[in-house]
Amino acid sequence: MKPTSEGQIELGKILKNELNDLGLKASINDEGFVFSYLKANTDKKLPKVGFIAHMDTSPEMPGGITNPQIIKYEGGDIKLKENIYIKEKDFPFLKDLRGKTLITTNGEMLLGADDKAGIAAIMDALEYLVENPEIEHGDIKIAFTPDEEIGTGCDTFDIDFFDADFAYTIDGGKLGELEYESFNAAEAIISIKGKSVHPGTAKNTMINSITVAKELDDLLGQNKRPEHTEGYEGFYHMISITGSIEDTNLVYIIRDFDRKEFENMKNFLKDCVGFLNKKYGNIISIDMSDTYYNMGDILKDHMEIVEYAKKAMENLGIEVIEQPIRGGTDGSKLSFKGLPSPNLFTGGYNFHGIYELIPIEDMKKSSELIVEIIKEINRK
C-alpha cells in the first residue's frame, strides 16, 4: 500500500539519492520505505544496530512551504507573525534555550521537525561516520518510514529485510529524552442514529443524536481527557465529531500505559454504549480496534540497548531524561514485531502546531548521540 501522501515518496527518493551519494546502497519500495546500510568496517563480532526516522508530518495542520525563521534567542517572546508569539509565560522552557539558535515556524503551519529533525540527525551522523572510517562499527541499518503519524506506517515494515538486532527511533523531543515506554492505543468509531421530528411536537419522541453523543462523552468523565492528564495517566480523546439530529459520528482514541487498565477503559466505553443503547433502543454502533501496544512490555527484556543510549548521553555530558512517551512511535510496533526500538530525542519542542521550534545545537547533539551510541556498542 502506498503512503497517504505523494510528498513522502518524493522525499524518500531524495533521501535515497543522498544516501547513494554518501556511498551507501539505498532503496525505496512501493510502500514508501527507504532502506539503507553502512557496512561494518571491522572483523569484530558487533551487533547490527538500526536508526529509524519517519518522513511524514502531523495531519493535524495544513502542509505546504514552511518558510521557517532562524533566530539567535536571547530571551523574551518570539514573534512568528503579526499578533502571534511564542510567549515565555506560556512556554516556560524558553528560559533554558537562551543563547541557542532556534528554528521556528512563520506562524502559519507546523515546522515539520517531527520528524525531519530525526532524518537530518541520522544523515548527519552517517556523513560523519563515512568521513571518519577509523571509528569501528558493525553493520549500521537505516530506515526512513512513511505514515508514522497516523499509526499505520510500520504495519508492513519488513524486519527480516532490515536485518538489525535492535534499533533506535530518532523521534523524541527535547535534549536528553530517552523513552522506552509508550501508550497502549486503540481507536473507536461510533455512529449514533437519532430520530428527527418537529421540535414543536418532539416530547417523548425526538432522539437527538447530537445530545446522545454529548451524554456518552459525559459518561466517560472529565478527568480522563488529555487536557487533564499527565505522566502515566491514560485518557479518552474525542478527535472528531460530525452530527445532525438524525446522525452523529464520533472518533475516539483510547490510551493507557498499563495493559490491564487499557482493556478496562475499552470495556468501560463499550459498557457506556450498551447503557445508552438500552436507554434509547439500540441506536449506537461501535467499531473498536487496537492500534499499538506499550513497547515497554518488550523492552524490559532488552534494557542493555537502553543502557547503551544512557551511557552515550552521559559521555556527551547530556542529562538523561527517562520518561514514558505520551503517544507512540514506530518503535511501538517494531518492538512487538521483534525489533526492540527505544526512542531518542531530536531536540524539538511543541510538535504538531505553529509554535513548534527546535534549537540547532540540540539537533546537532542528536546526531552526535547516534555516533556515540555506535562507539559505546563497540566498547562493549
Contact 182, 328 (CB under 8 A): yes
- Mean pLDDT computed over 52-70: 81
Average pLDDT over residues 34-58: 94
The pairing of strands 101-104 and 69-72 is antiparallel
Q: Which of 31, 56, 115, 368 is catalytic?
A: 56
Q: Confidence band (pLDDT; 50, 70, 90) for 61? A: low
Q: Check pLDDT > 80 for residue 284.
A: yes
For 213-266, how does the pLDDT look when each residue is reduced to its tens digit (9 = 90+)? 999 999 999 999 999 999 999 999 999 999 999 999 999 999 999 999 999 999
C-alpha–C-alpha distance, residues 68 and 104, integer Å:
6
Helix (H) or strand (E) segment spanning residue 188: strand 184-193
Q: What average pLDDT is seen over the chain? A: 94
Nearest to 119 by CA among 54, 191, 178: 54
Q: Report d(CA 285, CA 191) in Å as an integer.
A: 5
Confidence category of residue 126, pLDDT binned at 50, 70, 90: very high
pLDDT at 60 over 90: no
Residue 317 and residue 323 in contact, taking contact as beta carbons nearer than 8 Å? no
Q: Which residues contact 249 (CB under 8 A, 6 or more apart)?
A: 189, 190, 191, 192, 240, 241, 242, 243
- The answer to whether the pTM exceeds 0.85 is yes
Give the burial class of 101: count Cβ atoms within 10 A of its Cβ; 0-12 exposed, 13-18 middle, 19 or more buried. Answer: middle
Question: What is the pLDDT at residue 1?
Answer: 74
For strands 184-193 and 247-256, give the pairing.
Answer: antiparallel
Question: Does residue 377 sit in helix, strand or coil?
Answer: helix
Annotated catalytic, 218? no
pLDDT at 352 over 90: no
Q: Over the stretch 68-113, which tens digit does the pLDDT of each residue have?
A: 999 999 999 999 999 999 999 999 999 999 999 999 999 988 899 9
- H or E element, residue 177: strand 177-179
Q: Smallest Cα–Cα separation from 169: which of 198, 147, 144?
A: 144
Given pLDDT bands bounded at 50, 70 and 90, which one contains residue 36? Answer: very high
Alpha-carbon distance of 19 to 12, in angstroms, equals 10
How far apart CA 278 and CA 272 sit, in angstroms, is 10
Grid coordinates standing for 33? 520505505
- Please tell me the least confidently modeled range out of 6-10, 150-154, 261-265, 269-273: 150-154
Q: Would you give the end-to-end CA distance of the chain in angstroms?
A: 40
Among residues 31, 114, 148, 177, the one annotated as catalytic is 148
pLDDT at 162: 96
- The Cα–Cα gap between 69 and 98 comes to 16
Strands 140-145 and 166-172: unpaired
At residue 62 the predicted structure's pLDDT band, cuts being 50, 70 and 90, is low
In angstroms, the CA 159 to CA 125 distance is 22
Would you call 227 a catalytic residue per the annotation?
no
Domains and CATH numbers, the chain: 6-182+294-379 (3.40.630.10), 186-292 (3.30.70.360)
Residue 67's pLDDT band, with cuts at 50, 70 and 90, is confident
| pLDDT tens-place string over residues 285-323 | 999 999 999 999 999 999 999 999 999 999 999 999 999
